[in-house]
Structure 1
Amino acid sequence: MIADRIRDGYGEEEKLNCAEKILYASNEVYNLGLDKNALKLAAGFGGGMCTGDLCGAITGSIMVLGTMFVKNNGHESDKIKKLIQELISRYKEEMGYIDCIPLKENHLDEQVKCRNIIVKAAEILDDIIEREAK
């Protein structure tokens, strides 16, 4: 699962940001078939889109949900909208925030940095994917 990999330090040696860690790990775990150029799409979403806004772990998770549950575009059904709303709602309920700055202020660990923040998004994402795959 994605959460287990990130918990074990996935992407730290490569200096991946939070969005990249979610997308790259998901690509491997769920065989998304994303090539190097597709993976680079996550580069600007780390650190709350480099502005401290919506956490990159969430935006990376949204990229994964779109890749897995959208055939052509986001307007084809309400499914992607509902999955994203669930992801954000559950994350906010468990962590208290969805924006990078307050998440870091309240959950950053000096030793593992944002790892626990990213793991929480990955746990919720894993849960949604497992349920939807059934």
Structure 2
Amino acid sequence: MDNRMERAQRLHEQGYNCAQAVVCAYCDLFATDEETAYKMAEGFGLGMGLMDTCGALTGAYMLAGLKGSAGLEAPGKTKAATYGINRELAKAFKEQNGTYICRELKGVGDGNVRRSCQGCIEDACRLVEKLLVE
């Protein structure tokens, strides 16, 4: 895991947003190419561009979909299970950080920075490893 987490950190330092860094660090394990993963995740950084749900966490959500979806062969058949994994990811992330809202994590409004982007990427990678890879 450390290599993937380190790769996600390096990708973020190179300009990938938080969601792209998480998705691209794992895309090979979830049968998708990095170019597609990068493009797919672009709108999810900075809390989906709105400082809403943390981009690193939404990257983990995307990986949950890649892992759990039956795809076009069975439309709608697997989405409930994927939503369940997303709830687990969100719950665990919130337990660690007190929130999964980007603006709250960054201390916008109250000045209390709860977690850096690098820390959020680290937390998302740990959750991916625990809930999606292991």
User: Same fold by TM-score, threshold 0.5 exceeded?
Assistant: yes
Classify the TM-score, shorter chain. Answer: 0.7 to 0.9
**What is the aligned-residue RMSD (CA, Å)?**
2.0
Aligned residue pair count: 124
8 Å Cα contact 2:24-2:37 kept in structure 1? no
Question: Does residue 1:107 correspond to 2:107, yes or no?
Answer: no
1:83 to 82, 85, 88: 85
| Distance in 1 of aligned mates of 2:64 and 2:88 | 11
**Structure with a larger share of its residues in helix:** 2
| Distance in 1 of aligned mates of 2:19 and 2:12 | 12
In structure 2, relative to structure 1, the CA distance for the partners of 1:130 and 1:12 (3 Å cut) is closer
* Structure 1 residues without counterparts, runs of 5 or longer: none
* Structure 2 residues without counterparts, runs of 5 or longer: 108-112
Task: Provide the TM-score with structure 1 as the length reference.
Answer: 0.81
In structure 2, relative to structure 1, the CA distance for the partners of 1:84 and 1:117 (3 Å cut) is same
Question: Does residue 1:47 correspond to 2:46, yes or no?
Answer: yes
8 Å Cα contact 2:18-2:121 kept in structure 1? yes
Task: Provide the TM-score with structure 2 as the length reference.
Answer: 0.81
Residue 114 of structure 2 aligns with an amino acid whose one-letter code is: H
How many percent of aligned residue pairs carry the same amino acid? 27
8 Å Cα contact 1:107-1:117 kept in structure 2? no
8 Å Cα contact 1:26-1:32 kept in structure 2? no
**Deviation by residue 1:82-111 (Cα, 9 ceiling, x = unmatched):** 1111000110111101110111122345xx
**Deviation by residue 1:16-40 (Cα, 9 ceiling, x = unmatched):** 0000001110114x15232523430
Aligned residue in 2 for 1:124: 127
Residue 129 of structure 1 aligns with an amino acid whose one-letter code is: L
| Distance in 2 of aligned mates of 1:11 and 1:66 | 22
Aligned residue in 1 for 2:32: 33
Task: Give the 4+ runs in structure 1 shifted more than 6 A.
Answer: none
**Deviation by residue 1:45-77 (Cα, 9 ceiling, x = unmatched):** 100011110111111111111011111267313
